[in-house]
Structure formats: C-alpha cells, structure tokens
C-alpha cells in the first residue's frame, strides 16, 4: 500500500484526515509544518502527499519544490482554503500532481491522485460563476483572521468592524456561492 504524508497546520483537520486514510488501510505520516514534513520525507520516502498551501513559516509551494528534490516520484495534492488560479498554476508548475480547494474529503483527494498529471490550462474557461458578495466577504474575513493567528480583536481592528459583529459573522456558516 502506498504511504501518504499529510501536512497541515490545522491539528483537527490533519488528525481527521489521518484517521480517514488509516480507515482505508493507508500507512499515514503527518506533519504540522515544513520542517516536520521534510524530516519525514527524508526518512520515510512517501509515495503520496497532501500539502496545505498556507502554513506558518515556509509555504506549501516551497514544500512542493523541496520535497520533489528528495523524492522525484512523489505525487502531491495541494489543498488550500484560499484558492486562486495563480496559486494553482504555481503549484502545478512546481510539480504538484493536483490542486484542490478546502474543504476536501479523502475521496476527493484519492480521486485527485488518480487523475492525469496534465491539468487543463485553458485560460478561457467555458463559464465562470463569480462568487457572491457574501461569499467573498466571508473568505476575506477568514483570510484576515488566519493572518492574525485567530485573534478576534486584532482581526476586528484590521477589518474596521466591532469585535461582536465579527464574532456574529464568524458564527454563521459560509455562504454557498
């Protein structure tokens, strides 16, 4: 069975994904950051890897680049909550096998590993549905919150809104589109 390396700074997400892969009989190694991941890559030489794009310290893009120097055959799926065309292109250009937006489950990730390595790079998509204003606001709030290390007061200050208003917005589920 192929060995999988999970790298994500979110402990709960990483542990949940690890259990899900183990339930499917995959040997799994997990790491919270670049340094831990590189140590595992050097020691265990995994076959598959799932990297979070945005982590404290070195990013998932740097991890893609450096891990492929050690294990050139490593198939990497990059996950992120802050998806954009530019970062997807960067990840694939650096050698990632596929790119998925969070939330992604184990089935999505395994399907991504099984897809061909040639991602469509069509610059003119057939149809583009812009996210709603509510969805864009929710993503921006979460991006600023992550930049502030989860500090609600600092996030509210940077966004220019009252702390309680921010807490109410965070309590709601993200808009669908």
Instruction: Give the neighbor-by-neighbor strand order of the sheet with 75-80.
Output: 28-31, 4-7, 48-52, 75-80, 98-101
Name the pTM for this structure: 0.63
Quickly state the pLDDT bin for 90 (edges 50, 70, 90).
Answer: confident
Query: Would you identify the CATH topology of the domain 133-171?
Result: Arc Repressor Mutant, subunit A (1.10.10)
Question: Are the beta carbons of 56 and 9 closer than 8 angstroms?
Answer: yes
CATH architecture assigned to 4-114: 3-Layer(aba) Sandwich (3.40)
Q: What is the pLDDT of residues 96-137, one digit of tens each?
A: 888 887 777 888 888 888 875 444 444 444 555 667 788 788
Q: How many helices (H) and strands (E) does the chain have?
A: 8, 5
- Tokens representing residue 52 in the block: 């979070």
User: Which residue intervals of the chain bear CATH 3.40.50.2300?
Assistant: 4-114
Q: Residue 71, CB half-sphere, CA atoms under 13 Å: how many? A: 24
- Which residues are registered as beta bridge partners of 29? 5
Question: Tokens 């549905």 correspond to what residue?
Answer: 129
Question: Do 152 and 166 touch, CB atoms closer than 8 A?
Answer: yes
Taking only the tens place, the pLDDT of each residue in 40-53 is 999 999 999 998 88
CA distances from 24 to 33, 114, 136, 172 (A): 24, 16, 35, 33
What is the predicted pLDDT for the residue at 126? 52
The two structure tokens encoding residue 112: 């991504």
The predicted structure's pLDDT at residue 177: 63
pLDDT of 27 above 70: yes
31, 6 Cβ separation under 8 angstroms: yes
Residue range(s) in the chain whose domain bears CATH number 1.10.10.60? 133-171
> SS3 for 94?
helix
* Share above pLDDT 70 across residues of the chain, in percent, rounded to a whole number: 87
Check residue 36 and give its pLDDT: 92
């Amino acid at each position: 069975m192929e060995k999988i390396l999970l790298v994500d700074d979110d402990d709960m997400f990483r542990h949940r994904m690890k259990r899900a892969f183990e339930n499917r009989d995959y040997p799994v190694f997990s790491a919270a950051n670049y340094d831990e991941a590189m140590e595992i890559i050097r020691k265990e030489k995994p076959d598959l890897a799932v990297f979070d794009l945005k982590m404290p310290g070195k990013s998932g893009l740097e991890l893609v680049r450096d891990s492929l120097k050690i294990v050139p055959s490593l198939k990497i799926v990059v996950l992120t909550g802050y998806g954009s065309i530019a970062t997807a292109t960067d990840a694939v250009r650096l050698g990632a096998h596929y790119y998925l937006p969070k939330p992604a489950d184990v089935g999505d990730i395994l399907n991504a590993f099984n897809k061909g390595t040639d991602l469509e790079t069509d610059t003119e998509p057939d149809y583009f549905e812009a996210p709603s204003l509510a969805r864009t606001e929710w993503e921006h709030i979460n991006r600023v919150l992550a930049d502030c290390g989860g500090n609600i007061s600092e996030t509210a200050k940077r966004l220019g809104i009252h702390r309680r208003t921010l807490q109410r917005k965070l309590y709601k589920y993200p808009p669908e589109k």
